[in-house]
Chains A and B, each alone.
Chain A
Amino acid sequence: MAINREEIKHLAELARLSLTAEEEERFQGQLDSVLQYINHLNEVDTKNIEPTAQVSGLTDVWRADEVNVWNRDEVESALNQGQLENRQIKVKRVL
């Protein structure tokens, strides 16, 4: 088995996703198949091969750090839910 149910539970916790028991079981089966297929990659010898991070070929793309002043109404309509107080969003208690 490439992945078990405990690991699925743990990963869902890390990713802040609530899963039903049914989803946990189904995903375990499906992801197990996917991972077994993906494990074919172990056939490939990648010693001394540099991993590719990106294919744009660009490095150090700069632009001036300019401040754009957004229209206040536009800002408020973009962040349009939750309780707004002093231009801050109130969230649930953390602890």
Chain B
Amino acid sequence: MLLNELTIKEARQKLDSGEITATNLTKACLAQIKKADPEIHACLLVCEDEALAAAKEADKRIKNGERGDLLGIPYLCKDIIMTKDLKTTAASKILESYVAPYDATVVKKLKDAGAVLLGKTNLDEFAHGASTENSAYGPTKNPYDLSRVAGGSSGGSAAAVAANMCIFAIGSDTGGSIRQPASFCGIVGLKPSYGRVSRFGLLSMTSSTDVIGPLAKTVYDASLILKTIAGRDNLDATSAPEAIEHYEEKISALAQETQSIKDKSLAGLKIGLPQEYFLESLSSDIATRIVETAAKLEAAGAELFTVSLPYTKYGIPVYYIITPSELSSNLARFDGIGWGLAKNEAKNLQEFYKESRGAGFGQETKRRIILGTYALSSGYYDAYYKKAQAVRTLIIQDFEKVFKQVDLLLTPTAPHPAFKIGEQVNDPLAMYLEDIFVTGASLAGLPAISVPAGTVKIIDEVGGEKTEKELPIGAQLIGPRLGEGMILKVASVLDEN
């Protein structure tokens, strides 16, 4: 097995025993990036020198007897998160040459823990999208099928983990942006509860739903990452004060308890399948995979129930008012003064602003700014933004009611597997509908994880020739607020690894 193909758990054991070094682990990842990334385009920046220096430092710490979950483990970070002295572009032209003056809290925590930053990954510009096609620097391709998208907006992070360019990656999820690409790329993607992880240093999109989270090869790995990056931060007033759990301990306990999934390890747990997530239009293949997933959990002792979340279908319209509104406000800071793209040939300040922003922002970003400006403008604020936030309350209440009946929910992550590059890029509304199963948890601030749930068959027709292909899809578990421990524990039962 190549070193870059290891999981955190495997690498940890080999690093601590001295079998491998962080330097060699890092070199293996860098080599894979060099080999596979020209095709996949998951990375916007690779910081080879800095990575090798960090790996050397980690090796010293390990040799001195220090032990830590992520010490010496190489990772990639979504380029919407500030990394000091490295370019942070949000995959936009407006930040093409912007060098971050400070580290995000998450990056600082990972640095202190000794994780090795390999570079920054591609995303939909400012996280606006569900395919990574909105990047100003070209799309990221799905490692399972290079003619298809990796999903978005954390497409680069997801593809990099799937292609073993790193041992884990960090992404952000505002309306599905960790979970959906994880589903498309056959890996684990966790969106923690809102506030569980500090947003300091995350270029803001939708301030009321943005969350940073891990993309990993296994659920156990995801639990280790969460434990390191979670926690209250003085620099993020929305960060949750509750103590961080030892998430991986629940999983280890489970693994020790049972040898086989058939042992009653989830006895007493009630799992709800919300009927509104199993629409007529959902492909029967995906529904079958979720039913199979449910059967596995049932075999492990859980009880299954059909539940209802009646306001589910309003999740998308609510999200697509709140998101453009909040981001139109957040992106107002990009004015070309002092940093960022600047059209210095403009005649006066007004023209300078308009031309810098007009040239710097991509199509989807501009569309959303206009939509948000509209929804917040005088005369429309009540009808749109306030109305959306009121329907949001109803969606939140749906979840509160359902969590009185069951402990967690099981749903599909995405309505279909990865689609072809270019297929939906001219239809913004079709792209918005990608988020149909993932927006609910975002609006309610709940923890949600996507776990690989097998593959579905699709038939590709290229130049008159039909080929059959298997593409990954994910199952989503949604828990009550700060219920990461529970959904990680349940998800680990499904983990093939």
> Which one of A7, A19, A51, A89 has the highest number of Cβ atoms from chain B below 10 Å of its Cβ?
A51
Q: Mark B306-341, 1 if CB is under 8 A from A, else 0.
A: 000001011011101100000010001001011100
Known A27-B370, A81-B339; judge A55-B445 contact (CB<8 A).
yes
Q: Which of A1-50 contact B (CB under 8 A)?
A: 3, 7-8, 11-12, 14-19, 23, 27, 30-31, 33-35, 37-42, 44, 46, 49-50
Contacts of A17 in B (CB 8 A): 354, 357-358, 361, 366, 369-370
Contact of A31 with B238 in the complex, beta carbons under 8 Å: no
Do A54 and B429 form a contact, CB below 8 Å, given A92-B349, A94-B349? no
What's the count of A-B pairs with C-beta under 8 Å?
A: 164
Chain A residues contacting B361 (CB-CB under 8 Å) are 17
Judged by a CB distance under 8 angstroms, whether A95 is at the interface is: yes
Q: Which residues of A contact B428 (CB under 8 A)?
A: 30, 33-34
Determine if B374 and A7 form an interchain contact, defined as CB atoms under 8 angstroms apart: yes
- Asked whether B237 is an interface residue with its Cβ less than 8 Å from the other chain, the reply is yes
Say yes or no: B338 contacts A31, CB within 8 Å. Answer: no
Given A40-B314, A81-B338, does the pair A51, B377 have CB atoms closer than 8 Å?
A: no
Considering the chains assembled together, what is the distance between the CA atoms of A42 and B393 in angstroms? 15
Residues of A within 8 A of B339 (CB): 78-81
- For window 223-260 of B, CB contacts with A under 8 Å fall at 234, 237-241
Q: Does B391 interact with chain A (Cβ within 8 Å)?
A: yes
Considering the complex, which residues of chain B in the window 470-490 have a beta carbon less than 8 Å from any beta carbon of chain A? 481
- Partner pick for B445 among A31, A56, A95, CB 8 A cutoff: A56
**B350 at interface, CB cutoff 8 A:** yes
Min CB–CB distance A25 → chain B (angstroms): 13
- What residue in chain A is nearest B367 (Cβ atoms)? A27
Instruction: Give the distance to chain B from A24, nearest Cβ to Cβ, in Å.
Output: 10
Q: Which residues of the other chain, B, contact A78 by a CB distance below 8 angstroms?
A: 101, 338-339
Whether the pair B342, A51 counts as a contact (CB closer than 8 A) is no
A81's contact among B241, B342, B377, by CB below 8 Å, is which?
B342
Q: Determine whether the beta carbon of A41 is less than 8 Å from that of B391.
A: yes
Chain B, residue nearest A47 (CB): B390
Q: Do A27 and B366 touch across chains, with their CB atoms under 8 A apart?
A: yes
Which of the segments B28-36, B113-121, B381-389 contacts the partner chain?
B381-389
Question: Beyond A14-B373, A17-B357, A91-B337, is A34–B320 a contact (Cβ under 8 Å)?
Answer: yes
> Does A72 reach chain B (CB closer than 8 Å)?
no
Q: How many Å from the CB of A72 to the closest CB on chain B?
A: 13
Nearest 9 interchain pairs by C-beta: A18-B358, A55-B445, A51-B389, A78-B101, A46-B390, A16-B353, A79-B338, A18-B354, A61-B237
16 A-B pairs (CB sep. < 8 Å): A16-B357, A17-B370, A40-B314, A41-B317, A49-B394, A51-B390, A51-B392, A55-B208, A55-B209, A56-B240, A77-B101, A82-B338, A89-B337, A89-B338, A91-B349, A92-B346
